Amino acid sequence: MTTRSRHSVWVLGISLLHVAAVAVAKPEDAPLPAGYTSDSSSEFVNGMFVYARYQNWGVSAASDRVIRAAETCRNEGRQSTGLESPQIYGNEEHWLYRTDTEVVLFTRSYDARIDLDACRFEPVEVRTVMRLPVTSGALDWPSRFDGEALACGRTEICKRRRIAGMHARCRGLSAPFVGSTDCVSISRATRGMTLSTHFWSDDGQFADFTVTSVRVDARIDRAVFVSADRWKTDPDRSR
């Protein structure tokens, strides 16, 4: 094989690798919120998708009501039924979708249905939708996700971590009976987004918010923006 032939083969190989890389970089479909269905003729837009979870133990209004009601039943010598453990009450799942012009956040949480006469406790699924406009390309984030990438103070523990593919600056505070960490994105695409927060105390309370998935270039079903409120129907009431 001549030098010119080898060069041609090399150029062809590089071109094929470039085509393959472009194919691999095709945007992935963003998952829909749990329980949200879209028709087969949906339109799609490119944007950002983020999924996050919030978990707690005994730090939400719903879990506090369950704890107090369960204690009342025990003090009266009555047996509780249903889900007495407060951990699920107040927990949240978040599906965030963002384009250059709009942000929509779907949140699924669990409130408590308490029948004190029967000492019965049941979780009730609650669905909410929040919309935010995007102004001048500013990276504003809804509640839970809204943070500041601040430098650490002298009394704080400061580290850098990688969370859901994003670079984060984490600030920590610790005392004998309580502690917390707060990790905020310093990556360009998600700067100022809270990627992780954690709180604990020695009496067993904790709260943990974690972003587990970020797709900066995702293929999003347009229905999540134009028909978002359709998702809010309480599934317990629709039966």
**Per-residue pLDDT at 40:** 65
Q: Is the pLDDT of residue 225 over 60?
A: yes
Burial 2-12 (b: 16+ CB within 10 A, else e): eeeeeeeeeee
pLDDT 10s digits, 137-174: 667 898 889 988 777 777 677 889 999 999 999 988 77
Q: How high is the mean pLDDT of the chain? A: 82
Beta bridge partners of 219: 29, 46
Reply yes or no on whether the pLDDT at 4 is more than 70: no
Q: What is the mean pLDDT of residues 206-215?
A: 93
Pairing of strands 206-221, 28-29: parallel
Residue 235 predicted with pLDDT over 60: no
Between 216 and 155, the higher pLDDT residue: 216
Predicted pLDDT of residue 57: 73
Task: Give residue 151's pLDDT.
Answer: 73
The answer to whether residue 209 scores a pLDDT higher than 70 is yes
Q: Would you list the DSSP string of 46-110?
A: EEEEEEEEEEEES-SHHHHHHHHHHHHHHHTT---EE---GGGTT-EEEEEEE-SSEEEEEEEEE
**pLDDT digit string (tens) for 99-146?**
988 999 999 998 889 999 999 989 889 999 999 887 766 678 988 899
Question: Predicted confidence band at 239 (pLDDT cuts at 50, 70, 90)?
Answer: very low
Are the CB atoms for 48 and 238 separated by under 8 Å? no
Does 205 score more than 50 pLDDT? yes
Query: Model confidence over 38-95: pLDDT tens digits?
Result: 876 779 999 999 999 998 876 678 888 888 898 999 999 998 888 777 677 878 999 9
Q: What are the residues whose beta carbons fall under 8 Å from the beta carbon of 147, sequence distance 6 or more?
A: 141, 182, 184, 185, 192, 193, 194
Q: How far is CA 22 from CA 9, 68, 165, 193, 215, in A?
A: 20, 57, 20, 28, 17
Specify the amino acid at residue 120. R
Q: What one-character-per-residue DSSP string does 120-145 give?
A: EEEEEEEEEEEEEE--TT-----TTT
